[in-house]
């Protein structure tokens, strides 16, 4: 009996060490039995192969033209982290959905790996429209986009110059430009910004002469007593069994970490500039009540033209809306896309 209690104790301690909080229905690796999944690939305008998971409801005939939704993953993640979950849940409601890997990440092409190129990310969403809009089972007049975290700002950037995107939704959106320029709640000074820019510029010499690539930001790999609460929030998803995933040819050590020399390009990224020109196409911004990123959804909502809606999820943080199915407002998303893609 003592050995049994010892074994149970070791098992419980191992789960504690992993730190995975599986409350509120955390289910990142959800697999639906109501949809079929097919791996697809297509080239963007710059001839880089973009890879995605295409989900088709079993209740829908491929002879019919269905509405479709493209789903983008959090910045630094891959389609298997959050976007697959959203894509399947929405496919269960009758939409054809496509969860894609952005260029330089996951299974999509692009070198160096983990490079930041905001214009290319926007292009990937347009290329996904190209792909879906040429499939016989998709109604090209009814294609929407959904961006999670950093992809929220990328879909806005894409939609400004691609009117084929008929409805735009974001969840836990990060404005990756403002976050890098100003920090959360404008906590970064201009001098700090200049130091970051200078460090990235100097690193270019290192890599130009075949030196070691340097990575930046992203999620910590170990927790300490003084780890910031926001880092703990991301750690619980990216560094535990709750959400950790490494595509072939990648490694957990590089998940969420962009290259230093390319990440600085976010300083020139202004996704909310001219956001009002997306109107009258509808926009939905979803954010957690206690999300550290809530400011970005609120700012986008303030600047956007009609029609628009800001939906705040009670008792939810930023990462909560990656995978906690008891908190994610799938009904709200379904209603939005059904109305917008009639």
pLDDT tens, position by position, 72-89: 999 999 999 999 999 999
pTM above 0.85, yes or no: yes
pLDDT tens-digit readout, 137-196 = 999 999 999 999 999 999 999 999 999 999 999 999 999 999 999 999 999 999 999 999
CATH class of 19-186+269-340: alpha beta
CA distances (Å), 281 to each of 67, 167, 308, in order? 16, 6, 9
pLDDT over 70 (residue 121): yes
Give me the DSSP letters along 204-247. Answer: HHHHHTT----B-SS--SS--TT--HHHHHHHHHHTSTTT----
pLDDT number for residue 2: 45
pLDDT over 80 (residue 104): yes
pLDDT number for residue 253: 85
Q: Provide mean pLDDT across the span 21-40.
A: 98
Residue 64 burial by Cβ neighbours in a 10 Å radius (0-12, 13-18, 19+):
exposed
- The rounded percent of the chain whose pLDDT value lies above 90 is 90
pLDDT number for residue 36: 97
As a whole number, the mean pLDDT across the chain is 94
**Could you count the other beta carbons within 10 Å of the beta carbon of residue 3?**
7
């Amino acid at each position: 009996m003592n050995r049994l209690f010892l074994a149970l104790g070791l098992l419980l301690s191992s789960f504690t060490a992993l730190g995975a909080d599986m409350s509120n229905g955390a289910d990142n690796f959800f697999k639906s039995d109501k949809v079929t999944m097919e791996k697809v690939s297509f080239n963007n305008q710059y001839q880089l192969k973009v890879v995605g998971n295409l989900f088709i409801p079993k209740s829908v005939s491929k002879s019919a033209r269905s509405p479709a939704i493209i789903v983008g993953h959090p910045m630094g993640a891959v389609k298997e982290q959050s976007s697959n979950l959203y894509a399947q849940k929405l496919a269960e409601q009758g939409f054809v959905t496509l969860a894609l890997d952005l260029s330089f990440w996951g299974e999509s092409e692009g070198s160096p790996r983990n490079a930041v190129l905001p214009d290319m990310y926007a292009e990937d969403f347009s290329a996904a429209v190209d792909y879906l809009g040429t499939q016989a089972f998709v109604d090209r007049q009814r294609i929407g986009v959904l961006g999670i975290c950093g992809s929220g700002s990328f879909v806005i950037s894409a939609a400004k110059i691609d009117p084929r995107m008929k409805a735009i939704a974001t969840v836990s959106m990060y404005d990756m430009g403002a976050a890098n320029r100003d920090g959360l709640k404008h906590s970064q000074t201009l001098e700090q910004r200049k130091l970051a820019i200078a460090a990235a510029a100097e690193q270019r010499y290192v890599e130009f002469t075949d030196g070691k690539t340097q990575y930046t930001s992203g999620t910590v790999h170990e927790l300490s007593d003084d780890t910031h609460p926001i880092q703990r929030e991301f750690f619980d998803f990216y560094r535990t069994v709750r959400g950790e995933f490494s595509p072939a040819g990648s490694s957990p050590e590089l998940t969420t970490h962009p290259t230093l020399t390319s990440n600085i390009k976010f300083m020139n990224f202004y996704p909310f500039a001219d956001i009002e020109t997306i109107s009258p196409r509808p926009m939905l911004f979803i954010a957690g009540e206690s999300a550290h990123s809530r400011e970005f959804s609120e700012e986008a909502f303030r600047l956007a033209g009609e029609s628009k809606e800001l939906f705040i999820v009670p008792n939810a943080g930023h990462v909560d809306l990656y995978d906690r199915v008891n908190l994610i407002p799938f009904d709200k998303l379904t209603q939005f896309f059904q109305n917008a893609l009639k």
